[in-house]
Every structure is written in structure tokens, then in C-alpha cells.
Homo-oligomer: A and B are copies of this chain.
């Protein structure tokens, strides 16, 4: 089978397994198979083109398909490590990460997340949908595995004489004594991010504030500028602060490659907690527990 056909088949298996049981062993197996196929393809069928980084202390390259010359999205050179990822993936996909060093874990997660995205970039033009679906399955699986529970994709609304259902991103119900989680997952956010705060607001309004904790997970906010072969991070921290102040409160924002300006938000009002997704494993229980007195 051609590498591209193998990747397409592995992608379809991920979608199929995740729809049935995102937490399950079959989903883990399909994600592992897909990541391996993609990393092999990127290593053998693509070169690397250096990009000019406009982001302090970060270096980027892009995969470049040997035949077509098509480029992938920008890849953070310090975080992409195919051999660590291949080795560490089985444990990460099983949510067994207690003994790892944080930097290793960040590299494994980033490389897994970018594997299919970059392969899709160089294989097809303008394919925005399948990388998003893949990344949602990957993060959904890891979170579901960590808590040992599958998420829902809608919640019932009962309000006086009104009865309807609200379609949502993944939501987790972990039992009476625990906070529920609202888990939107996006490869990047751009101007669409206000939707995440708005959905959180609806959940707060329908069910009460703090009943669902909002956890947004993203890959990165890089943007490639072809005219000078450079990479920037597209960030709107002032807008995020207004959304957090006036729409609803997100509990965490995790990135595989934390944008510099968003990382700074944790230290100024309204204190949006933006962190590497690797931190999720350490604080998974705290996220669903009663808050400490402040």
C-alpha cells in the first residue's frame, strides 16, 4: 500500500474508533498506527525547510514534500522529536506518564499532535477539517483515558416548559462529587475562539456557574508568511482578557506549543491559566475537585 493510502486508511480507523469509544484500546491502537505512518512519511518523503522565526526563543521549520514542494504548517524545532514520540506514544496514549520528565512529555505530545496535521498539509491542499478531527480524537482519548470515562457531545436542557438539547464539544460527567468538564479542542483558535467562551457562558447559564469547568486544548497559534518565509504567533491577549472578564471564565487553556503572549496571561488580571498540555497529567485530579480556599 502507498504511504498516502496507509495514512488515509489509518485516519479513517481513528475516526471510526473514536466515534464508538474514544477512551478505548482500539482508539489508542488506531491513533498509534496513524502517528507512526505519518512520522515515517514525514521522515522519508519530505525534506525540512528552515523558516525565519519572528517569535522570541523559538525556531521553526516546515516539512516540504519531495515531489510537490508543498509545505506543512510551521513546526517548532525544539518540540518535534519523532524518535521520542514513537517510543513514548504507547504510554502517553494509555495515560501512563507518572515517571516522565516534563520536557520529554511536551515533546511527545507535540510530535503526536503535529504528526497527522503536517502529513495532511503536505499531502492535500486546504484540508482544514481532518487535522481538527484527528486532534480532537487524540486529546479526547488522552483525557477520557485519564479519567476512565467517555465524554458526551450534547447535554439535555430542561427549563420550565422548554425541553431541548444543546450540542457541545466534549463534556465529561465524572460523578456527583466532581466538577464536570467542558473540553473544546482546536488546532488553533484565531477569531473563532470567542465561541469557546460563549459556549461556556451557555453552560454556566443553564446549569449554574462552575458546574462545568472549561478546558480549552490547542496545538499552537503560528502563522506562516510566505512573502518572507517567516513565522509569527497570532495572539489577541487583550481580547481574551475581555472575554474572560465579560463572557465566562475558562478554567484552563492548554497548548502543545504555548504562544508567548498567551503564556503571560496567567500573571495579570484576569489571570487566564495558559499552560503546556503536559501539565494536564499532573493536575487532572485537581481539575475536577472542589477548589481550594483562596
Contacts and interface: CB of A to CB of B under 8 A. Distances in A.
A243 B194 contact: no
In this complex, the member of A159, A197, A198 whose beta carbon has the largest number of chain B beta carbons within 10 angstroms is: A198
Contact of A194 (B165, B195, B246): B195
Given A241-B162, A242-B166, A247 B201 contact: yes
A164 interface: yes
Contacts of A197: 198
A91 interface: no
B202 A247 contact: yes
A3 interface: no
Q: How big is the A interface, by class? A: 20 to 34
Contact of A198 (B157, B195, B238): B195
A245 to B, nearest CB: 7
Nearest to A159: B245
Contacts of A204: 246
A192 B162 CA distance: 24
A244 to B, nearest CB: 11
Contacts of A205: 242, 245-247
Interface string A199-217: 1011011100000000000
A70 B178 CA distance: 54
Given A164-B238, A164-B242, A166-B242, A198 B206 contact: no
Contact of A243 (B159, B202, B242, B243): B202
Given A197-B198, A198-B194, A201-B247, A239 B162 contact: no
Interface in A159-214: 159, 162, 164-167, 192, 194-195, 197-199, 201-202, 204-206
Given A195-B194, A195-B195, A201 B246 contact: yes
Contacts of A247: 198, 201-202, 205, 247
A194 B245 CA distance: 18
In this complex, the member of A192, A239, A247, A269 whose beta carbon has the largest number of chain B beta carbons within 10 angstroms is: A247
Contacts of A199: 194
A239 B194 contact: no
Interface string A230-258: 00000000110111011100000000000
Contacts of A245: 159, 205
A206 B166 contact: no
Closest 3 CB pairs of A and B: A205-B246, A198-B198, A164-B238
